[in-house]
Amino acid sequence: MAAVAYLTNLKASSPGFSIARVLQHLSVPMKEFLQSVQEQNACLSPGASLPPEFQQLKAQYVVSTIAFTKWKTFFPKLFPMGFVASDGVHSEETQTSFQLGWLIFLIAKTTLLANKGDVMQSYHLLACVTHFLIAHLPESAQKSTIWSDVEGEVPAECYPLPQHAQTRLWKMMLARPEEVELQQAGFGAFISHLRPLFELDDAPATAEVDGAGGEGVKGLFSYAPLSSTLQKVKDKYNEIWVEHSPIDEQHFLEQPARAPQSAPASPNRQTTASSAQAQLLTPLRQGVSLSVYQMNTPFSSQLESVGWLMEATQVDSEALLVRFFDACTQNPQQIITERLARLSGRVKSHLLATDPTCDAIEERCMLAQRLYHKMLLAFLQAEEDRLKKSDFTALLSKEEFHCSLFACCMEGVFASYSMQEMAFPAIIEVLEIHAFDFGKVIESFVKHEEQLPAHLKQHFVQVEHKVIESLAWQDGSPLHALMMEYEAAHSNGEPLQPSRVHKALQQFLKKCLFVAATRIQDICVRLLLPQSLVQQVWECVKVVLESVRTLLRGRHLDQIIMCSVYGVCKVNQRPVTFRHIIDKYKLQASATPKVFREVCMATAEEEPQDIIKFYNVIYIPAMKDHLLRVCTANAEGASTPVLHSAGSPHRVSSQADVYVSQRRAAEPSMTPRTMKLYAFSDTPAHTSSDGLKHINHQLNAGNSDAANALQALSSSMSPPQSSGPQKRGLNLSHGGDGRGVRQVMQRRLAELGAVERSSSSPVSSASDAQEG
């Protein structure tokens, strides 16, 4: 209800509407509200992007959440006794101090940043506020270890702190001194808001900064009881937040503390420290531990990224490029410099139009230019070592290469500072470059920057996947002309020259196959499909990428995967509908409703339709013969490569981490008795007396996921029994040329183009994909 009311108000612009009051009245948490808005927007306005007001609201919530988390982390370390000498961490004065400190930060954030700051700005403003508060602690409340760690004497109630004490504080908070200095510039205006609240009208509030510290405000926390000061600060914040922010960030103080949850122990596994650290391996990981992919917290990752960016751009590499420019047939330095200025100007104009108050635009564009020079130097040095030459006239004269490299550097800067308003693919839209050209630079960028943080490496992997899955297939992409040239040469029997262009095309298609294999495995495991059907889906998608690439033009790779899954299940009489497929697809990290709600039809002028309409009208006419060939070959026992090794565990439940290995061939040394034995690494009898009963109950329950999956798995590995009546299926006992199999396949494929549709909305009731 709150989400619908919010979206309706954005369109109607009703005066007096406050989402904060609505959420408070309905007792809806902000996080749930944000998720609901995205879902309701997709239902009410399919295909429409989220309103910019919502994007700003979401960004503000994320920034404030990170800041509050950091305040909770640092408060007990820096203020163990609160702002006055209280009795301990859980005393009323300490809790009041915690709330007071957060509200003081909110006033500073509202006053100085107008709630438009990014994570870095907000966090370093929090560091400034922390400095202000800790510097004014009375001596009796200075119980933090920071006071004993600081070398040299620090006078009581000294603000600003001496330089060596500030250095220790910034190191403890992982703050960057140059960022703190930027936020400190407007701190005098913030202190002026505090004067009447702390009754400081007759007391000095600022002091000159020098190495020994300043005079500060004597007795800052002793002019009035903390409780009365807290109420005054609350009143002040309630007065100003309505004008500058759509949400009341006091709600963070009202969140109940939750105990950390751990996974319940299974009958044959106790929840111990060792078992909690054990990593479950899936077929796709092939023995790679999950710990490799574990990331830092969002803010820690951002601090690491900004630190890398500052270090990477300390030395301007432009001077080192001169020798490569001089070695060219025609010196490209002036053209490169002019191009760089033009591209930077486009980015600056766009950022100013988006947020006129942003004062860091010039600095971040300069960082991107320095990073561009660094990466260009690294590319040329690597090519020099490989080719043993210094003349790279051809490479340095390519417009698309330079534009893509600068866009990649600019994306690295935006990702380091978490600039949500420039989330990918905004940069390639601003610079008007093709995603396919941009994608060719990503791998080299990551490869040649050895110090690139893991957070940014993962970011560029996600960016590359977006290029591969859809952006590179858009109308107007150079990929289509390249493929037409390649296919024409191949069909005419002309020898294909091993040019960089064809190598880039082959490399791109390999990456497409990798992404497709990963997502096929994911969705098929969630649907509990046997390996034989997974292999058929894989073969169908390979056919699209190798022979029927027109199906991907202007579309998304996931659309082809979902249609292939449904087509293969239909042929094999597997009771899977589009609703099931879409429900499992939604669980993927990269899934978006637009993928299955808006699919490009025959031409760009036609209105996009849902995936079921695309399947009936476009996919089946193009893929019917290929589906017949793939499924028939599989039914006749054709040998096809598998997606993972036969010995790998196979997930048999979408609700729990249950894996089953396929039956191994009996060893000659095993007797009939030993073949019946079973073993557990941690036996049920050892962990629980009812453990074995629980396992038997789960396997005997006919309606359990594990039992159904085990039955399907065993049926896919064993030939059907001949005794008793059976459902109509493929007759695999025919020999010869397999004409019986082909006739059955032809009959089923004739039904594929007649998917029944219900009278309800297109994909929201996707059970409309019934058996024909």
User: What is the percentage of the chain residues whose pLDDT exceeds 90?
Assistant: 37
> Which of 214, 232, 251 is the last residue in one of the domains?
251
> Which of 17, 35, 50 is the last residue in one of the domains?
50
Q: Is 330 exposed, middle or buried (0-12, 13-18, 19+ CB in 10 A)?
A: exposed
What's at 355, amino acid-wise? D
Structure confidence at residue 335 (pLDDT):
96
Q: Which one, of 544, 546, 556, lies nearest residue 627 by Cα?
A: 544
In degrees, rounded to 5, the angle at the alpha carbon of residue 34 between the alpha carbons of residues 29 and 35 is: 100
Structure confidence at residue 690 (pLDDT):
62
Which pair of tokens denotes residue 428? 């390639």
Q: Poorest-confidence range of 57-66, 109-118, 284-293, 484-493?
A: 284-293
Taking the C-alpha atoms of residue 403 and residue 659, their distance in angstroms, rounded to an integer, is 48
Say if residue 36 is in the same domain as residue 73.
no
pLDDT band, very low/low/confident/very high, at 454 (cuts 50, 70, 90): very high
Q: Around 612, how many Cα atoms within 13 Å sit in the side-chain half-sphere?
A: 23
For residues 81-109, average pLDDT: 83
Say if residue 172 is in the same domain as residue 312.
no
Question: Do the domain assignments include residue 727?
Answer: no
Indicate left, alpha or beta for 769 from its phi (over 0: left) and psi (-120 to 50: alpha).
beta
Which pair of tokens denotes residue 174? 């992982």
Question: Do the domain assignments include residue 330?
Answer: yes
Say if residue 17 is in the same domain as residue 105.
no
Structure confidence at residue 531 (pLDDT):
92
Say if residue 46 is in the same domain as residue 108.
no
Structure confidence at residue 740 (pLDDT):
59
Say if residue 352 is in the same domain as residue 483.
no
Structure-model confidence comparison of residues 128 and 770, the more confident one: 128
Structure confidence at residue 364 (pLDDT):
93
Which pair of tokens denotes residue 650? 């196979």
> Which of 449, 469, 489 is the last residue in one of the domains?
469
* 670-706 tens-digit pLDDT: 554 554 555 454 444 444 556 566 666 665 655 555 5
For residues 588-607, average pLDDT: 90
Cβ neighbors of 21 (< 8 A, separation 6 or more) are none
Structure confidence at residue 768 (pLDDT):
40
Q: Poorest-confidence range of 116-130, 140-154, 292-306, 584-598?
A: 292-306
Structure-model confidence comparison of residues 598 and 196, the more confident one: 598
pLDDT of 80 strictly over 70: yes
* Cβ density class 495-517: b for 16+ within 10 Å, e for less: eeeeeeeeebbeebbebbbebbb
Taking the C-alpha atoms of residue 124 and residue 302, their distance in angstroms, rounded to an integer, is 13
What's at 619, amino acid-wise? Y
Q: Calculate the average pLDDT of the chain.
A: 77
Cβ neighbors of 201 (< 8 A, separation 6 or more) are 195
Structure confidence at residue 550 (pLDDT):
93
Residue 628 near residue 746, CB atoms below 8 Å? yes
Question: Do the domain assignments include residue 518?
Answer: yes
Say if residue 406 is in the same domain as residue 450.
yes
Say if residue 58 is in the same domain as residue 6.
no
Structure confidence at residue 533 (pLDDT):
94
Say if residue 435 is in the same domain as residue 526.
no
Taking the C-alpha atoms of residue 694 and residue 699, their distance in angstroms, rounded to an integer, is 9
Say if residue 575 is in the same domain as residue 460.
no
pTM: 0.70
Question: Do the domain assignments include residue 293?
Answer: no
What's at 397, amino acid-wise? S
For residues 584-600, average pLDDT: 91
Place of tokens 């009795």: 87
Structure-model confidence comparison of residues 450 and 218, the more confident one: 450
Say if residue 20 is in the same domain as residue 63.
no
Question: Do the domain assignments include residue 691?
Answer: no
Say if residue 549 is in the same domain as residue 411.
no
Structure confidence at residue 404 (pLDDT):
97
For residues 359-385, average pLDDT: 94
Q: Tell me, what CATH number does 336's domain have?
A: 1.10.472.10
Question: Do the domain assignments include residue 173?
Answer: yes
Say if residue 16 is in the same domain as residue 99.
no
Domain residue limits at 627: 479-635
For residues 52-75, average pLDDT: 87
Question: Do the domain assignments include residue 601?
Answer: yes
User: What is the percentage of the chain residues whose pLDDT exceeds 70?
Assistant: 70
Q: How many domains does the chain have?
A: 4
- Whether the link from the prior residue into 719 is cis, omega within 30° of 0, is no
Structure-model confidence comparison of residues 661 and 426, the more confident one: 426
Cβ neighbors of 546 (< 8 A, separation 6 or more) are 509
Q: Poorest-confidence range of 24-33, 200-209, 218-227?
A: 200-209
Cβ neighbors of 116 (< 8 A, separation 6 or more) are 56, 355, 357, 358
Question: Do the domain assignments include residue 354?
Answer: yes
